[in-house]
Amino acid sequence: MSDTPHTAGPPTGGQDRDAPEEVTVVRAPGPTGVTVAPLERVEEEWVTAERTLARYVLRHASLGGLIGALFGFWSALSPSLIPRTWWMILINVAMSMLFAYGTGHLIGYALRHLARLISLRVTAAARAVRIIRWLGYAAVLAISVGVWFWAIQQQRDVSRTVNLKRHFWLTQIFGALSGILAFVAVLLLIRTVSHAIHRLYTGVHRFITQPLLATSVFVVALALALLATNNVVVRTAANAVAHQMETVNRQTTPGVHRPTSALRSGGPGSTRSWASLGRKGQDFVASGPTAAQIRKVTGRSAMVPIRAYAGLPADRNLNTAAHAVLDELIRTHAFDRKVLVIYNTTGSGWVEEWSVSSVEYLTGGDCATASMQYSYLGSPGAFLLDRESPKEGAKALFNVIHGYWDRLDPARRPRLYTSGVSLGAYGGQSAFSSADDMMSKVDGAVWTGSPGITPIWNELTSSRRQGSPEIAPVIGSGSHIRFIPGIRYIDRDRWGASYPQWKSPRIAYVQHSSDPVTWWQPSLIWREPDWIRERAGIDTNPRISWTPWSSFWQVTADMAIAVSAPGGHGHSYHQELIWVWSSVLGTDHITQAQKQAIAEDLPKTIKGSD
């Protein structure tokens, strides 16, 4: 046996000359004989060891996409309206990087094809390429560090502006890293789904060779799969959530008890049982100031305020609920009071106590509030899954009560007002065809934190006087309709110019410039809104800027915690409602000191929350 290594000879005539040769290394014989090691096994082990998650992603990722994702990461850290939690940063980073990755990939794809079309080829020395690469790495690192520190400083500014503290360093680090991991995970999921779709099409095409027919069968199969997913997964999850919320609705809030006053729904002599009111309805009728509290705070005589409420009927008939509220108003002689307020609830039937109690204090209890539930879902669920019920409920409640009120003697009937916060403002305004229709039917209204998708709000904002900003539009001269971003802007516009006398009917739109519920709109994806471009915000970071797609997700994430901001910021409307309602009602006899006393006493009457 020779010690000389053997190599394969030239292929024989019957062999394919382009086929790879099988090479075997033969070592010198040892104590145990000859050892043979296939090169294929060595290569396979090497590839397996090298294929980590990071290498896999980088090896299969688009260079243009990665560059785009980097810009998406930087834009996701820019300031928005509310100081962020870690999961808000996660959402912003992941969604911004995904969109920017897709955009960068498409741009890179187009440039490659353009280069091929014009036969463009750029060459450079290996050393120059290395220098350019390392300079690029250094620039990316420097910009990322700069953006990182700048973003933390901006979050501090936002935190100080809305008076909401955050742990910036830990929140930013954990949120950013989680967002990057989420981006990678979704990217891999998209690749997996894309591969599965390709395999599905290949499988169909294997049995159906005609291209058009194969494509048709593939599209039908894919549509059926998506339909099944929606029916089985999405609807099952939605039904489970609705069932859970219905169960919660039947549970009384701890510490809340049935009222002892006959002037409250669910109390003695009421046509509505305590259990039928639902959790939020029980909170509403069990809350509020007593006549003694009102008298103590204002120093004037007071009556027991009337609160009429109906929960969602078992058959979900909103007209039935509206007539039940009317029955309660008639039973309690609410139409003999000075003021009647039709209040539109949020999704689960929640009523903003700051708004209702403000009216009760300011009128000395000579008022009645009518409200009802139209859904078991909370505001986020109703906003996403059911935007029709708020409108249908508001129309039913207003039409039934207004129809009865309109037949009464104008000299003896109460002044009629309507109100709502958030989804209640969205639904409440749908009871009217226009702002003029609203003014023809009520003596006044207070709409608080109206969502940006509200039609009448949009029409008024779009028709604002030239020069007035979107956060505080001036409608006409401000003699009937006023947008109020803060207490000091009740009688003057954003730039300090005084309004003329406020004539009846008085319509107030209360909205903070830091409220993402008001400023969220789908158009944020592709268009810069005026409220960002004008930079007229009162409690917003002046460095806030708009980025396609990213700004949409920033404001979307802000919405989730907008109510966590202190009163006067975000989606929390508290003390300012006392001053707004005082102006709308025309209670000039209430002094500033009395209003401040109401603001200090009112929180003691609040039970339950949204």
Q: Which of 479, 417, 473 has its CA nearest to residue 446?
A: 417
The stretch 389-411 carries a mean pLDDT of 96
Identify whether residues 181 and 271 lie together within a single domain.
Answer: no
- Kind and range of the H or E element at 275? none
Burial class (CB in 10 A: 0-12, 13-18, 19+), 426: buried
pLDDT of residue 111: 87
Evaluate the CA torsion angle 243, 271, 349, 251 in order and state its sign.
negative
Q: If DSSP states are collapsed to H, E and C, what string results for 189-231?
A: HHHHHHHHHHHHHHHHHHHCCCHHHHHHHHHHHHHHHHHHHHH
The larger pLDDT score, comparing residue 128 to residue 51, is at 128
Whether 175 is in a domain gets the answer: yes
Question: Measured between alpha carbons, how far is 323 from 396 in angstroms, rounded to an integer?
Answer: 9
Whether 7 is in a domain gets the answer: no
pLDDT of residue 610: 53
Question: Measured between alpha carbons, how far is 391 from 418 in angstroms, rounded to an integer?
Answer: 14
Identify whether residues 99 and 83 lie together within a single domain.
Answer: yes
Whether 13 is in a domain gets the answer: no
pTM score, two decimals? 0.84
Whether 10 is in a domain gets the answer: no
Residue 397 has pLDDT above 90, yes or no: yes
Residue 481: C-alpha distances to residues 228, 292, 504, 536, 588 (Å)? 49, 35, 10, 20, 19
Grade residue 15 by pLDDT with cuts at 50, 70 and 90: very low
The stretch 276-297 carries a mean pLDDT of 95
pLDDT of residue 20: 43
Identify whether residues 265 and 188 lie together within a single domain.
Answer: no
Identify whether residues 440 and 349 lie together within a single domain.
Answer: yes
Grade residue 205 by pLDDT with cuts at 50, 70 and 90: low
Identify whether residues 255 and 153 lie together within a single domain.
Answer: no
Evaluate the CA torsion angle 467, 470, 472, 476 in order and state its sign.
positive
Identify whether residues 323 and 448 lie together within a single domain.
Answer: yes
Whether 245 is in a domain gets the answer: no
Identify whether residues 443 and 460 lie together within a single domain.
Answer: yes
308 DSSP β-pair partners: 370
The pLDDT tens digits for 215-226 are 666 567 667 666
Residue 395: C-alpha distances to residues 435, 459, 559 (Å)? 15, 19, 26
Residue 426: C-alpha distances to residues 53, 193, 378, 513 (Å)? 47, 39, 14, 18
Residue 11 has pLDDT above 60, yes or no: no
Number of H helices, E strands in the chain: 22, 9
Grade residue 515 by pLDDT with cuts at 50, 70 and 90: very high
pLDDT of residue 81: 95
The stretch 324-328 carries a mean pLDDT of 98
- Which segment of 16-20, 52-56, 173-177, 539-543 scores lowest on mean pLDDT? 16-20
Identify whether residues 368 and 482 lie together within a single domain.
Answer: yes
Q: Token match 């260079």: residue? A: 63
- The residues, any chain, with a CB within 8 Å of residue 98's CB and separated by 6 or more, are 69, 72, 183, 186, 187
The edge-to-edge listing of strands for the beta sheet with 481-484 is: 306-310, 367-372, 339-344, 415-421, 444-448, 506-510, 481-484
- The residues, any chain, with a CB within 8 Å of residue 356's CB and separated by 6 or more, are 284, 288, 307, 341, 343, 369
Residue 77 has pLDDT above 50, yes or no: yes
Rounded to a whole number of angstroms, the CA Rg of the chain reads 33
Q: Which of 582, 575, 564, 569 has its CA nearest to residue 603?
A: 575
448 DSSP β-pair partners: 421, 510
Identify whether residues 452 and 331 lie together within a single domain.
Answer: yes
Domain of 419?
A: 250-494+501-512+573-605
Identify whether residues 398 and 454 lie together within a single domain.
Answer: yes
For residue 542, cis peptide bond before it (omega within 30 degrees of 0): no
> The tokens of 407 are what?
């037949």
Q: Which of 344, 362, 346, 298 has its CA nearest to residue 577?
A: 362
What amino acid occupies position 100? A
Return mean pLDDT, the chain.
86
Burial class (CB in 10 A: 0-12, 13-18, 19+), 560: middle
Whether 437 is in a domain gets the answer: yes
pLDDT of residue 217: 62
Identify whether residues 343 and 481 lie together within a single domain.
Answer: yes
> Kind of pairing, strands 36-38 and 24-26?
antiparallel
Whether 227 is in a domain gets the answer: no
pLDDT of residue 588: 85
Coil, strand, or helix at residue 495?
A: coil
Whether 36 is in a domain gets the answer: no
The larger pLDDT score, comparing residue 381 to residue 454, is at 454
Residue 569 has pLDDT above 90, yes or no: yes
**Number of domains forming the structure of the chain:** 2
Question: Measured between alpha carbons, how far is 596 from 335 in angstroms, rounded to an integer?
Answer: 30
Identify whether residues 552 and 591 lie together within a single domain.
Answer: no
- The residues, any chain, with a CB within 8 Å of residue 324's CB and separated by 6 or more, are 271, 272, 310, 313, 372
